[in-house]
Structure 1
Amino acid sequence: MIKEIIVVEGKDDTTAIKRAVEADTIETGGSAINRAILDRIRLAQERRGVIVFTDPDHAGERIRKIISGKVSGCKHAFLPQELAEKRGDIGVENATPDAIRSALANVKTEYEGAVSLLTWEDLIAAGLVVHPDAAARRLEVGKKLGIGYCNGKQFYKRCAAFQISREEFEAAVEQLDRPDQ
């Protein structure tokens, strides 16, 4: 049984989670999160902790951002889009139990007010911003780091929030630049 309560978007996500692991969930009911849901998430965080596990799409990222802004110290599980896609639909409910277990095994804890261990120049040098292939490179490095895909500014913020070390970052970039290893 997973100690933390997993925050998902809907009933189908809860079903997928329960096929993969034994856990309790809170469903946001989509991107229109109301105060009552946020209060439940806040209480769950105080009592047991929460893992935010939303769809790897724009709406899921919006929900994740709302929750993080209102409830501090959340853990986050990220699922790559290709592991959450079925017939053009992207969502946690489409992931295999193995993919869900893998995402939950690699949760990241968000540290409020954390100072980045990286610089903006590190992202530039790695080709993750201000580069013709920056978006594709961020996607791959985000997968390797387990922090999901986002734009350059959010990527930098996530590296700080999840305290991604220089060593982790450099190893992920090196894997990207040397795919044969």
Structure 2
Amino acid sequence: MKIKEIIVVEGKDDTVAIKRAVDADTIETNGSAINGKTIEQIRLAADLRGVIIFTDPDFPGEKIRKTISQHVPNCKHAFLPKHLAKEKNGKKIGVEHASPEHIRFALRKARKMENEPKEQISREDLINYGFIGEERSKSRRERLGEILKIGHTNGKQLYKRLKMFQISRDTFLQAVEQILQEERSNG
């Protein structure tokens, strides 16, 4: 599978994992302290070929994603759920631990965030469907992020990401129904 866009990853091990999965070029941020030179490289890549941001599903990865998005709009975003990015012993999380199949799937589902989204899902919806303020909210948000391919978030980030990706109300409600059915099946 050949990827036209340049994939932004955190480090060398991520590049190795990407190249095992697809034919693609990468830019490495070398951690969350992204310097101006790296931002300029990403900006040039976005202008010439397009960019897919593919960072680890953890706090530093989200910080990198947010920093790049602020400086370089119109990037695509690829996400891996935490459980698909864990090393075999389960201690570390990162793109480098994902299988080639999971990397390819995440890249195929990469999406652009929109700057001026229309509100289709309200904060009240998130509360009413148990994504905020309940004991099970965290696990529901994780599952919703997997189903919609928008990554794991806290409640505030979930609201923002649903808007940014312009997730339709119908798509959201279908995902909610799937989560509820899974919960009923699991007792």
TM-score range normalised by the length of the shorter chain? over 0.9
The answer for the alignment partner of 2:72 in structure 1 is 71
Is this contact kept in 2: 1:116–1:161, CA < 8 A?
no
**What pairs with 1:1-40 in structure 2 (closer than 5 Å)?**
1-40=2-41
The answer for the alignment partner of 2:45 in structure 1 is 44
Residue by residue, what CA displacement relative to the aligned partner does 1:3-43 show, whole Å, maximum 9, x if unpaired?
A: 11100000110000000000110000111100000011111
The aligned amino acid for 2:125 is: D
The secondary structure found in structure 2 opposite 1:61 is helix
Structure 1 position 113, deviation (Å): 2.4
Structure 1 position 74, deviation (Å): 1.1
The answer for the alignment partner of 1:156 in structure 2 is 159
The secondary structure found in structure 1 opposite 2:141 is helix
Residue by residue, what CA displacement relative to the aligned partner does 1:90-113 show, whole Å, maximum 9, x if unpaired?
A: 000000000100101111211112
The secondary structure found in structure 1 opposite 2:138 is helix
The aligned amino acid for 1:22 is: D
**What pairs with 1:1-181 in structure 2 (closer than 5 Å)?**
1-86=2-87, 87=89, 88-179=91-182, 180=185
Return 5+ residue gaps in structure 1 as ranges: none
TM-score when scaled to structure 2?
Answer: 0.94
Structure 1 position 166, deviation (Å): 0.6
TM-score when scaled to structure 1?
Answer: 0.97
Distance, in Å, in 1 between the alignment partners of 2:177 and 2:147 is 11
Distance, in Å, in 1 between the alignment partners of 2:30 and 2:74 is 22
Return 5+ residue gaps in structure 2 as ranges: none
Distance, in Å, in 2 between the alignment partners of 1:117 and 1:45 is 29
Is this contact kept in 2: 1:144–1:172, CA < 8 A?
yes
